[in-house]
Structure formats: structure tokens, C-alpha cells
Structure 1
């Protein structure tokens, strides 16, 4: 499987605070953008998942800030699948300043798969084997790295 290169982003001015650094709340949005971009990269975009009647709610999210990101910086966000069970999916994130090549932020998010009709857990292996295989391949790739 082709390796995902990460999601590159330049912060917008409105994402900064009075000190000229990116406000902490924006990193949660960036994590989501990176997840959506990863799915697009795999050829199984989020829109397709939703069309197939699956919702992927966020169960938890965390972020640890190591260095500041400022307006004008360019960052690379690596969403890494850290756990996949068939009903749950966890990510770890690394935000890297491309100019300094330093990790500025670490994050996590936890998700599950639910039916949009019944709001019950979906077991991808049984109900959506193609999507299950996709997540398994990326999970195994991350485990081996």
C-alpha cells in the first residue's frame, strides 16, 4: 500500500490569538482535516463512508503543545492509526513545522463506527469488509513502522 505523505497546511490569520500564535482550539480542526485528507488519499473518502450509512463520531480528543505555531508557518500533519478493532479507530497526530522540522504538537483522537439509521455500533469486518481491509492495512503499516 502506498504510504500517506501527510497533510500540509498553512495557518490562516484568523486562527491566531492576541500573541500571534495559533490558538489551541484550531489543532482539533487540523486533526480532522488530516483524517479527511487521509481517507481521500486512500480512495475511500468520507463522503463515501457516509453514503454507505456509516457515521464516525469522535469519542475523545487530546492535544499536547510542544512549540508554538505562528501565522506564516507551514506544517505537516501526520495522522497515524494507533488502534483499530473493527468497531473503534484511534489516531495519533504529529504536527511538524516544515521550516524547522520540529514536532510542535502531538495529539490523539478516538472514534467508533455507527449506523446512521440505528445509531448502533457497526462491525466493519462483517458489514463493510472493504473499508475494514483498508483500515487494517494502514493499521498494520503503522505498527510495522
Structure 2
């Protein structure tokens, strides 16, 4: 079963590009963050609420594959979904698609640990079973 994919649209701003009008490579990580923030918000939960519950999601690893560049003023869709989920770790997957021609520009993943505010690992399935179950249903493709 395919996981639930959330799509959020952004426009490449001038400040995100280099002199050639090409989106600077590190800005895709920012777009990944926008994608996962909006993915969580779409479900009625925010990063702030997670932090208020004492749950942090620091990035442990990031992978990006560049296929084609986005350029200034391009509208792009950030497609985000839950890849791997364990009680202590979570991987988000991403695709950046240019809206005008549906060209796949970038793919990537970020791996996150579930930690408390002291950055000590926690088992989300124990500390916040409702949040863990919600993530698990997104991973399995259930609404």
C-alpha cells in the first residue's frame, strides 16, 4: 500500500537563487523542512505542539539527489510522505516537482530521531502512542 503523500506548493524566490537564476542546492533542505512542517500541520498537529509535549525531531541524516534545477519564479510542489517509522526513528521522503511541466527535479530523505528536550532518545510509541499511531497510519496509506 502506498503511503499518504502531502503536497505543498511554493514559488522559487529570487533570494533562493544564484546569479544564473538557479535555485541554490542547499535551499532544497529548506523546502524539505517546509514539506514536513506542512505535512504535520495538515493533520492538525504542529511542531510547536510536539515540542510542548516534549518531543523533538532532530535531523540525523539527510540525502538529496539532484536531477534538474528549479529556477527563479518556478512553482514547485513539495511532495512529502513518511518513509520508515520505528518507535525511536522516523524518515520523511520528498520529491520536488516543477508544476509547469511536472518534471521531477529533486528527491530526498531526512531521518529524524525522537528525543526529549534534553536531546535524549525516547520511544514515541510509549511516550505519545496517539502521535505514533497517526504517523503509522500515514506510513501505511490509511486516512
TM-score by length of 1: 0.91
For the 8 Å contact 1:77–1:94, the answer to whether it is kept is yes
Match of 2:46 in 1: 45
The Cα offsets for residues 22-73 of structure 1, whole Å up to 9 and x where unpaired, read as 0001000000011000110011111100000111100011111111101111
Match of 1:137 in 2: 137
Aligned-CA RMSD value = 1.3
Give ranges in structure 2 of 5+ residues lacking alignment: none
Q: Any idea what SS the aligned residue of 1:6 has?
A: strand
TM-score by length of 2: 0.93
Structure 1 residue 114 displacement after superposition: 0.3
Match of 1:10 in 2: 11
Q: Aligned partners of 2:136 and 2:113: how far apart in 1?
A: 15
Structure 1 residue 5 displacement after superposition: 4.0
Structure 1 residue 18 displacement after superposition: 1.5
Aligned residues: 139
The Cα offsets for residues 51-110 of structure 1, whole Å up to 9 and x where unpaired, read as 001111000111111111011110001112110002100011100000001111111110
For the 8 Å contact 1:4–1:41, the answer to whether it is kept is no
